[in-house]
């Protein structure tokens, strides 16, 4: 029989449609699924890397700042001592999500590895959607809350949002700017979209020192409104042939209309994203070392990512439970600003 050098992977299982699971061998399938889960978890880490710092920390202090004033004195003078105020504690939740697969003994003996692999693909898709939803909740909700760390030791954690006028200490800006924690907020709203609103949202990020690769993510329903702003510079359609005297800009991506950069407004690059709720926009510095969010996972590496948690066999029923433990929360409270362009601020339904 002719063989090929290589390793079975999930795509190989999906092609096996003429042998049953029992005939192909459950041990082989198990090894393939474990390898595929490792690859899937690597992809997930790359996906969340745009917004999140991946950590096992459950809380940190945020808001400390180098401040204080020099006092002028004469040669006999002595300035009063100054006390620095520490920042507020930011907590990061840890949640557990499950995806259960079930089948009967008869199913196992009659179905193919492709059928079983397809179930695992569904679980991986559910894992991706759960992460995306937690990221959206962290970005677009403006209310702080308390999370009980029940999976560890039941300690209450104070989970913060982007700056929301909660009276927390805000670090000084790069040019010595100071901010009133009781009134300064990064959740703004107004109708209709205007240059004043758009510029203010960008400034909310930049004035705190986050100036690297500023982006604004919008829903495709608001694309026309952003393109209509005075000062918006659109990326060019690559199908247009320019004359020698013309200056071309960055080409417009035509591969996916709901997930692409469409142009520049002020200091920010405008992106259409399919996951942004209609009527909202999110600005952040994508190249800043201080990520807006934290993606918390377990300290134990065996409990990180999507994994097969248990296989239960009680004839004639079989079940496999796939689990993922993670949590998403705001860390850099200044590197993120959200705007609603449909009246006063309300949290979107996610």
Tens of pLDDT, residue by residue over 46-87, are 778 889 999 999 998 887 655 556 667 777 777 776 555 566
For residue 220, with 0-12 CB atoms within 10 Å meaning exposed, 13-18 middle and 19 or more buried, which class applies? middle
Q: Compare 267 and 217 and report the one with higher pLDDT.
A: 217
Q: Compare 223 and 116 and report the one with higher pLDDT.
A: 223
Q: Compare 290 and 107 and report the one with higher pLDDT.
A: 290
CA-to-CA separations, 165 to 7, 85, 160, 162, 239, in angstroms, rounded: 55, 18, 11, 9, 47
Mean pLDDT for the stretch of residues 85-109: 80
Which range, of 14-28, 34-48, 144-158, 180-194, averages the lowest pLDDT? 14-28
* pTM for the predicted model, two decimal places: 0.80
Specify the pLDDT at position 108.
67
Mean pLDDT for the stretch of residues 134-142: 94
Tens of pLDDT, residue by residue over 181-201, are 999 999 999 989 999 999 999
CB 296 within 8 A of CB 55: yes
Mean pLDDT for the stretch of residues 323-330: 94
What are the residue boundaries of the structural domains of the chain, listed by start?
Answer: 10-61+88-340
Tokens standing for residue 260? 């692409």
Query: What DSSP letter does each residue of 125-137 carry, written as one string?
Result: HHHHHHHHHHHHH
- Three-state secondary structure string covering 285-333: ECCCCCCCEEEECCCCHHHCCCEEEEEEEECCEEEEEEEEEEEEEECCC
pLDDT of 350 > 60? The answer is yes
């Amino acid at each position: 029989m002719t063989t090929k050098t290589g390793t079975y992977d999930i795509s190989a299982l999906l092609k096996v449609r003429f042998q049953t699971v029992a005939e192909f061998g459950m041990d082989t399938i198990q090894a393939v699924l474990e390898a595929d889960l490792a690859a899937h978890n690597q992809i997930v880490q790359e996906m969340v890397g745009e917004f999140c710092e991946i950590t096992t920390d459950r809380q940190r202090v945020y808001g400390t700042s180098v401040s204080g004033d020099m006092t002028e004195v004469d040669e006999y003078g002595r300035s009063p001592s100054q006390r620095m105020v520490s920042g507020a504690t930011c907590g990061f939740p840890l949640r557990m999500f499950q995806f259960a697969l079930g089948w009967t003994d008869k199913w196992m003996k009659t179905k193919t590895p492709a059928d079983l692999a397809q179930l695992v693909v569904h679980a991986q898709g559910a894992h991706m959607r759960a992460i995306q939803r937690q990221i959206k909740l962290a970005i677009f909700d403006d209310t702080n809350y308390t999370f009980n760390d029940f999976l560890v030791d039941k300690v209450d954690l104070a989970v913060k949002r982007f700056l929301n006028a909660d009276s927390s200490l805000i670090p000084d800006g790069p040019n010595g700017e100071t901010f009133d924690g009781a009134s300064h907020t990064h959740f703004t709203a107004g109708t209709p979209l205007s240059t004043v609103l758009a510029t203010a949202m960008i400034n909310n990020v930049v004035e705190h020192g986050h100036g690297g690769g500023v982006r604004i993510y919008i829903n495709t329903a608001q694309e026309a409104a952003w393109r209509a702003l005075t000062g918006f510079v659109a990326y060019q359609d690559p199908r247009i042939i320019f004359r020698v005297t013309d200056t071309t800009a960055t080409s417009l991506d035509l591969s996916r209309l709901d997930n692409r950069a469409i142009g520049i407004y002020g200091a920010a690059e405008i992106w259409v994203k399919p996951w942004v709720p209609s009527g909202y926009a999110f600005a952040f510095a994508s190249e800043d070392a201080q990520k807006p969010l934290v993606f918390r996972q377990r300290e134990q590496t065996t409990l990180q990512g999507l994994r097969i948690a248990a296989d239960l066999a009680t004839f004639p029923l079989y079940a496999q439970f796939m689990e993922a433990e993670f949590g998403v929360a705001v860390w850099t409270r200044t590197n993120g600003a959200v705007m609603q362009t449909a009246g006063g601020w309300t949290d979107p339904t996610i």
